Homo-oligomer: A and B are copies of this chain.
Amino acid sequence: MNDKNAAIGVFDSGVGGLTVAREIIRQLPEESITYFGDTARVPYGSKSKDTIIRYSRQIIRFLKTKNVKAIVVACNTASAFALDTIEKEIDIPIIGVVKPGAKSAVESTKNKRIGIIGTEGTIKSELYTQYIHSIDPEITVVGKACPLFVPLVEEGMLHDSVTDEVASRYLESMKEENIDSLILGCTHYPLLRSTVGKIMGPEVNLVNPAYETAISLDGLLRQNGIRADKDAKPEYEFYVSDAEEKFKEFANSIMPLHIEKINQINIEEY
């Protein structure tokens, strides 16, 4: 039996998953979080399914040494490629960002035309499409990979004419598809929300799966009777697989708390 005041393990290929951790902190402020960012092997988006499954298994083995009570796969690529496999191998509740994101998009579309942008891996997996169709097979789903978005975000070019131009090109075909709902299918992309919103226009609803993931997580924890006590004092721990400085700087620029200590580990040992 898991301790209900134990931390939730949250992992991503790097810093992107912090947008999910941020949403969990906002919605479930009494929950503790143990975050792992695989900064030594980032990015996941262009890597193969087998590699992503192997990496996810190592990370889960690591998070379990920290006695987490549940796991959030805060990476769309890992959710798309590895969740089906690893949820069969694990004895604690686990949730990804794809299902909640897909559900939210289905609820928001009126004309039954949904767009999804993400990494090459996420788009090629077509997992968002599969989930959306399992809820409503009549919905048309249009996907587009945007491989330069992650490096542009990591360069801090959130409001920049180059990013505008790259986004315009990536989204050009999407604009012609008459979608009314667009899933930001990579955890870095909420940081480009204003750029994407400007191009797509106010009639297109932008879906951030992080928001819906935190809601689903709440339900999953309650269902398993492991929601933290209302007066629990949350603790946040951060681990990375590469040097901590760069992660720290980025994390402190987007998180609602000041992060002092980041721990570097060798993930290949797990």
Contact = CB atoms under 8 A, between A and B. Distances in A.
Contacts of A48: 242-243
Tell me the number of copies of this protein: 2
B40 A242 contact: no
A64 to B, nearest CB: 19
A225 interface: no
Nearest to A268: B268
A152 B148 contact: yes
Contacts of A234: none
A47 B51 contact: no
Contacts of A162: 162, 165-166, 169
Contacts of A222: none
Contact of A46 (B54, B147, B166, B246): B246
A66 interface: no
A171 to B, nearest CB: 14
A155 interface: yes
A47 B245 CA distance: 11
Interface string A31-63: 000000001110000111011001000000000
Given A48-B243, A242-B51, A243-B51, A155 B148 contact: yes
A151 interface: yes
Interface in A129-151: 147-148, 151
A47 B147 CA distance: 19
Interface string A242-255: 11001000000000
A100 to B, nearest CB: 28
Contacts of A161: 165
Contacts of A243: 47-48, 50-51
A39 B120 CA distance: 15
Given A50-B243, A147-B155, A162-B166, 14 more contacts: A39-B47, A41-B41, A46-B154, A46-B246, A48-B242, A48-B243, A51-B241, A51-B242, A51-B243, A54-B268, A147-B151, A148-B155, A161-B165, A268-B268
Interface of A: 39-41, 46-48, 50-51, 54, 147-148, 151-152, 154-155, 161-162, 165-166, 169, 241-243, 246, 266, 268
Report, nearest first, the 5 A-B pairs whose CB atoms are least far apart. Answer: A48-B243, A151-B151, A40-B51, A47-B242, A41-B41
13 contacts: A40-B47, A47-B243, A48-B243, A51-B242, A54-B266, A147-B154, A147-B155, A148-B148, A148-B151, A148-B152, A148-B155, A162-B162, A165-B165
